[in-house]
Amino acid sequence: MSVKVLFVYPNTYGMNMLPPAIALFSALLKGRGHQVDLFDATYYQTDYGVDSDGTKATRLNVVPFNPDEKGILLRTTDWRDDIREKVQSFSPDLIALSTTEDMWLLGVQLLEEIQDHIKRHKIPVIAGGVFPTFAPEIVIKQDLIDMVCVGEGENALLDLCDRIDKGNSWDDVTNLWVKQRDGSVLKNSISNPFDINDTPIIDIDLFEEQRLFRPMAGKWYKMMPIETIRGCPYKCAFCNSPDQLTLYDDATETTFFRKKSIELVYRELKHFKENYGIEYNYFWADTFLSWNNREFDEFCDMYSDIGLPFWMQTRPETLTDYKVKRLAEVGLHRISFGIEHGNENFRKKFLKRDWKNDAIIKALKIPVRHNVSFSLNNITGFPTETRELAMDTVELNRHIDSNNQNLYSFVPFHGTQLRKLCEEMGLVSPETITKALTDKPMLVQKQYPPEQIEGLQKCFVLYVKMPKSRWKDIERAEANTTEGNRIFEELKQEYLEKYAVNSTGTDSNSADLEYGVEAVKPSI
């Protein structure tokens, strides 16, 4: 006997890195003899959210790219028909919704489309991901959700499927909140984290091949997301990784922050290069250089045999000339750095990032010396922030010779310190669901209203790269009016002709990592 598990993945066009967590769960379940299928909403027209990559191209954050080049197009069929057909033909014994916070409402919409089938056949539905982990009380209230996975999903999902297969109760499965018939909820304890060195090669056959293609620096690659480190040792207030650490440190005997063995990473890299023709590796660790010197050298020695370009994300303070030089020699193509804010005092007080601007500027001369392209991720619209403070972020970016720079509006994700502050200040309610990073600003603050945030986001690259003699015109271009947009288009053309020579593009998903790898963490 085996259990048939249907994963439902709410997602929008333009966020096209496949979720390795689902691929990992599929491999684990198939290893136990269970059957797995997937409904992936990425390439459907769902009238939900925004085109993340497209928005970044408009704001000059990335080199323009053509999705037609690889035939990556929206489906012509209706998602409603297709999800109903999927659930009817596969006849799942369990439906697993894997969702980020900004995709939660779309996930509910997908489930509602198949609710008649769910109720008629009494199919249990479990929800997991970073959002269900940190807002389980919201998720469990949804009528179609029977269980919420709090924390990692590997052990919970395997145990749950074994219980379903044997016809046993799953009321006491660890990491699960389980809804009872009377509406009460059993809240089970957190189990020790899964041993990431026991992970199998992830099952990417679950996804259509076009999910492997994504743009980087204006060029399409067949790209693979690779795990090296789970968790992060830093305590940034806008990221959910610190609360993930606290969740496990308080409830278990094992720390959440773990490093995968280099030998296992090598086997995965070799497998996907030789069997799937992978052209580019995407290391999605919060801070890639969270290794000691021995581990770092071991990685470089190993990767020299892989010989493919790769992207990583790290913090400026982790850089040395030696590390960047060695990584460049073995394939480092691009780096993304989280700068977040340009005012030292604000950054230290509100973001819990205590590093001086001079030190950041000095460290980010290192990749320039070794001809490694890099992008800078910045955020604006924080609670208590002002337009004047936000211009400090412009000033800091002007002192760094980056290839690209992004400015995202702050999103108060559940499970972050700043979310708690926003609730205390009355800027959001505990039930408020956040939006995508590239969507409109969420917080409404008198001293820094949303229209000012949007204007600065629109013109951020122009402020950073063009001379200050043009700032008066750039300020006029911030206005979302016919005249403002006309000026913006003129300045945009001037930028592309005179100042974009050194812009070789950035990864379109890099900022998602800044918020704690919401889309790829191994929650269901």
User: For residue range 348-405, what is the model confidence (pLDDT) as tens digits?
Assistant: 999 999 999 999 999 999 999 999 999 999 999 999 999 999 999 999 999 999 999 9
Mean pLDDT of 191-198: 91
pLDDT(116) > 70: yes
512 membership: H or E segment, kind and range: helix 510-514
Quick one: pLDDT at residue 515?
A: 42
Counting runs of H as helices and runs of E as strands, what totals does the chain give? 21, 16
pLDDT tens for residues 147-175?
999 999 999 999 999 999 999 999 999 99
523 in Cβ contact with 19 (< 8 Å): no
The secondary element (H helix, E strand) that includes residue 187 is: strand 185-187
Would you say residue 500 has pLDDT above 90?
no
Does the pLDDT of residue 519 top 60, yes or no? no
Q: Measured between alpha carbons, how far is 250 from 253 in angstroms, rounded to an integer? A: 8
Render pLDDT for 416-461 as a digit per residue (tens, 0 to 9).
999 999 999 999 999 999 987 667 899 999 999 999 999 999 999 9
Q: How far apart are CA 103 and CA 113, in angstroms?
A: 16
Nearest of 315, 312, 367 to residue 339 by alpha carbon? 315
Q: Is the Cβ–Cβ distance between 65 and 16 less than 8 Å?
A: no
Between these two residues, 511 and 314, which has the higher pLDDT value? 314
> Residue-wise over 418-446: b if at least 16 C-beta within 10 A, else e?
bbebbbeeebbeeeeebbbbbbebbbebe
Higher pLDDT, 240 or 504: 240
Q: What is the DSSP code (8-state) at residue 271? A: H
CATH topology agreement for domains 4-187 and 217-465: no
Q: pTM of the full predicted structure?
A: 0.91
C-alpha to C-alpha distance for 256 and 231, rounded to whole angstroms? 6
Contact 509, 17 (CB under 8 A): yes
Extract the tokens encoding 484. Answer: 């403002």
- Per-residue confidence (pLDDT) for residue 507, from 0 to 100: 45
Confidence at 62, pLDDT banded by 50, 70, 90: low
Domain chopping of the chain, boundaries: 4-187, 217-465, 469-500
Say yes or no to pLDDT of 520 above 90. Answer: no
pLDDT of 510: 40
**pLDDT digit string, tens, across residues 13-54:** 877 788 999 999 999 999 999 999 999 999 998 877 544 444
- CA separation for the pair 212, 189 (Å, rounded): 36
* CA gap 364, 366 in Å, rounded: 5
For residue 438, the model assigns a pLDDT of 66
Write down the architecture of domain 217-465 according to CATH: Alpha-Beta Barrel (3.20)
pLDDT tens figures, 484-498:
999 999 999 999 999
> Which amino acid, residue 183?
G
> Which element (helix H / strand E) includes 392?
helix 387-398
The pLDDT tens digits for 200-219 are: 999 999 999 889 998 887 78
pLDDT at 215: 86
Q: Please, is 147 exposed, middle or buried when counting C-beta atoms within 10 Å of its C-beta (0-12, 13-18, 19+)?
A: buried
Reference 141, options 204, 184, 171; nearest CA is 184
> Which amino acid is present at 167?
G
- Tokens 């982790």, located at residue: 318
pLDDT beyond 90 at 521: no
Mean pLDDT, the chain, rounded, equals 91
Among 18-32, 106-120, 237-251, whose mean pLDDT is lowest?
Answer: 237-251
CA angle 233, 234, 236 (to 5 degrees): 150
Confidence bin at 518 (pLDDT 50/70/90) = very low
Q: Which fold has domain 4-187?
A: Rossmann fold (3.40.50)
Q: Say what the pLDDT of residue 501 is.
A: 55
Nearest-angstrom CA–CA distance, 138 and 21 = 22
User: What is the rounded (10 degree) CA torsion for 7, 285, 154, 117?
Assistant: -10
pLDDT in tens, 287-328: 999 999 999 999 999 999 999 999 999 999 999 999 999 999
Position 511 pLDDT exceeds 70? no
